[in-house]
Structure formats: structure tokens, C-alpha cells
């Protein structure tokens, strides 16, 4: 699976319903073996199997159609199978009200009980480009 956008995320961008600079944006770390991506997922409810607690992205930067933020850190992720995908989403109050934006893969790390850090790309497109 390649990284991709969720249909609802793109639709809400086009309608002006997602303001990344003002919204609470979180990241969910997952195992691809436990989550099957579908661009049709319209909330975070079907995005089950979170590994660790979803961190909120800080120091968000929007420029030239790109989105960047401070690196995301998952604290004390229990040892287990490799994690290999994540979902960037607009958090509202719960999974049912939250909007998935982007599915990112292409990495693999085996948690050992310590912190995991998503170190975003240091050049464009940073986290993603619309």
C-alpha cells in the first residue's frame, strides 16, 4: 500500500472545513496487519488498533500547499510486532467525530518499550502536500 489521502479529508479541505493551523491534529500509529486502509473511511472509528496514545501535533506550519509539524512522539510503546503505518487526522471529541486526512506508510520499526518518534521529512513535502 502506498501513502494516500482519505476522500473525506480531501472533501473537507475543498469545503474549507479543515483548518490545519487551528484544528487539533493528531497521529495514530498502527500495524498494517491490523488495519486495512480504505479511502472511503469517513471517521476514525474504523481506524482501530492504535499502538500507543495518539500524540497531538504541535508547531504546525503550512506553506506552499504543504503541512509540517514538530516530530510526533509516542511515549513508552510496549514491545511487540513492527509498526508500519500511521494516520494523520483532525481530532474533534472522539473517533466518531474525527476526520482522517492522510495515511502514511513506507517505514517499519519494532517497538521495544521505549519512546517512538516520527521524524518528519526535513524538506518538502514534509508530512504531506495537497
Q: Please state the three-class secondary structure of 57-112 as a single string.
A: CCCCEEECCEEECCCEEECCCCCCCCEEEEEEEEECCCHHHCEEEEEEEEEEECCC
Q: What is the pTM of this model?
A: 0.94
pLDDT over 70 (residue 50): yes
Name the residue among 84, 126, 81 with its Cα closest to residue 103. Answer: 84
Average pLDDT over residues 65-70: 92
Amino acid at each position: 500500500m502506498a501513502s494516500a489521502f482519505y476522500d473525506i479529508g480531501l472533501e473537507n479541505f475543498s469545503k474549507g472545513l479543515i483548518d490545519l493551523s487551528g484544528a487539533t491534529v493528531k497521529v495514530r500509529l498502527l500495524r498494517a496487519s491490523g488495519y486495512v486502509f480504505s479511502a472511503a473511511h469517513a471517521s476514525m472509528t474504523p481506524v482501530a488498533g492504535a499502538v500507543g496514545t495518539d500524540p497531538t501535533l504541535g508547531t504546525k506550519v503550512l506553506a506552499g500547499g504543504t503541512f509540517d509539524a514538530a516530530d510526533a512522539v509516542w511515549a513508552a510503546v510496549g514491545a511487540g510486532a513492527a509498526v508500519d503505518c500511521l494516520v494523520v487526522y483532525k481530532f474533534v471529541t472522539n473517533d466518531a467525530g474525527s476526520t482522517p486526512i492522510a495515511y502514511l506508510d513506507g517505514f517499519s520499526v519494532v517497538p521495544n518499550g521505549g519512546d517512538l518518534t516520527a521524524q518528519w521529512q526535513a524538506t518538502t513535502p514534509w508530512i504531506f502536500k495537497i
